[in-house]
Amino acid sequence: MPLRSIIISVFIGVIGLGAISYAAAPSPFSGSFIERTTGPRPTSMGNAYRALSDDTYGIYLNPAGLAQVKDTQFKFMSYDTFETSYHSMEFVLGLGFQTWGFGIIGATVPEIPHTTFDTGTGRVVDTGDTSSYEANAVYLSNGFYFLPDLRLGFALKFINLTLFDKTGGGFGMDMGLQYDPFDFLTLGFTVENMVQPTIRWNTASSAEDVLPKIYTFGQALKLLDKRLIISTDIRYEDNNISSQSLDTITDSEGIESLVDSDVLVVGAGIEYRLIDSLALRAGISNGDLSYGAGLTLDALQFDFAYTLPRTSLTDLAEPITRFSTGLTF
């Protein structure tokens, strides 16, 4: 079969696999902004990245993958969507026998208007005051070879949130592993929030929000001398935990039902390297279809992703464009 036919068939297969994924409501928890601050390369591959993570994004998605990085890398990304600004910065230092990574990700919603109910007119009116929402997470990750074909990794993280005049924060830890049973196949597994962050708010009731554990299994096929990568991830989010902050702040049975529901998402992606310096990508996750590309110019790395929202949201959501700039030395 000609190479072009193989690539077209794989692209169709990726889209078909993503289309049968079980799509559920986004996480209602305080740390859900982390899911939306993924870089262009993972995003354009449907976030099916746990068996790859061979660059700075391993800091967040699978720290075991960092062990594959043998040099020093720096990346930066910033984009806006839904009146929210997202940003991330990563630094990775390869030491040969192990690799360390440091990352900061965040989201900001500025000038949220304050409103009140006017009993005279029966309408909600703007008071003229504004507040903001800020969320940041700091990661310190380490990946290393436990065996020649087995990599392990751990990530310590601190999450800090500010909503109006309230703040909250908490520490947590992620764990990941990767195994290469064959030269053309890598398996990955992660437990996000293995040590669950407990976000403690400075409210009168000292409300707490415990982030759920998230289990993800992934595989990556590396074909055509590793110029073609096909990856899939299956992610399970265990939401069967209590969340005092949601109960206290909202007192809503509707949100409580979200907390008690689990989330299962399948993602799939493909990357084909046309030449050493240029890669094309496509992927789908939770009904969102993404395309992207990566360009390497000596020590500089540029990545791009364009995400189309799933059909049910096209009237509400706009396409999302992500760019990142990186440096390897």
State residue 46 phi and psi, 5-degree precision: 65, 25
Lowest mean pLDDT among 94-98, 150-154, 240-244, 318-322: 240-244
Looking at the chain, the whole-number percentage of residues with pLDDT higher than 70 is: 79
As a whole number of angstroms, the distance between CA 184 and CA 81 comes to 37
Average pLDDT in the 172-193 region?
A: 96
Q: What is the DSSP letter of 243?
A: B
Element (H, E) at 60: helix 58-61
Q: In which region does residue 164 sit, left (phi positive, over 0), alpha (psi from -120 to 50) or beta (all else)? A: left
**Strand, coil or helix: what is 220?**
strand
What pLDDT shows up at residue 37? 67
Residue 61 has pLDDT above 80, yes or no: yes
Cβ neighbour number for residue 125 with a 10 Å cutoff: 12
Cβ(94)–Cβ(72) below 8 Å: yes
Lowest mean pLDDT among 17-26, 71-80, 300-309, 317-326: 17-26
- Which candidate, 219, 200, 218, places its Cα nearest to that of 210? 200
- With b for 16 or more beta-carbon neighbours within 10 A and e for fewer, the 302-329 pattern comes to ebbbbbbbbeeeeeeeeebebebebebe
Q: What's the predicted TM-score (pTM) here?
A: 0.81
Amino acid at 248: T
CATH 2.40.160.60 fits 3-328, yes or no: yes
Give how far Cα 35 sits from Cα of 115, 191, 231, Å.
29, 14, 18
Q: How many residues can be counted in the chain?
A: 329
**Strand, coil or helix: what is 28?**
coil
If you write DSSP's letter for every residue of 131-184 in order, what string do you get? Answer: EEEEEEEEEEEEEEEEETTEEEEEEEEEEEEEETTEEEEEEEEEEEEEEEEETT
Lowest mean pLDDT among 100-114, 144-158, 187-201: 100-114
What confidence tier does 286 reach under pLDDT thresholds 50, 70, 90?
Answer: confident
Q: At CA 48, angle to CA 45 and CA 139, rounded to 5?
A: 105
Average pLDDT in the 228-256 region?
A: 63
**Strand duo 208-210 + 198-201: pairing:** antiparallel
Domain assignments of the chain as residue spans, ordered by start: 3-328
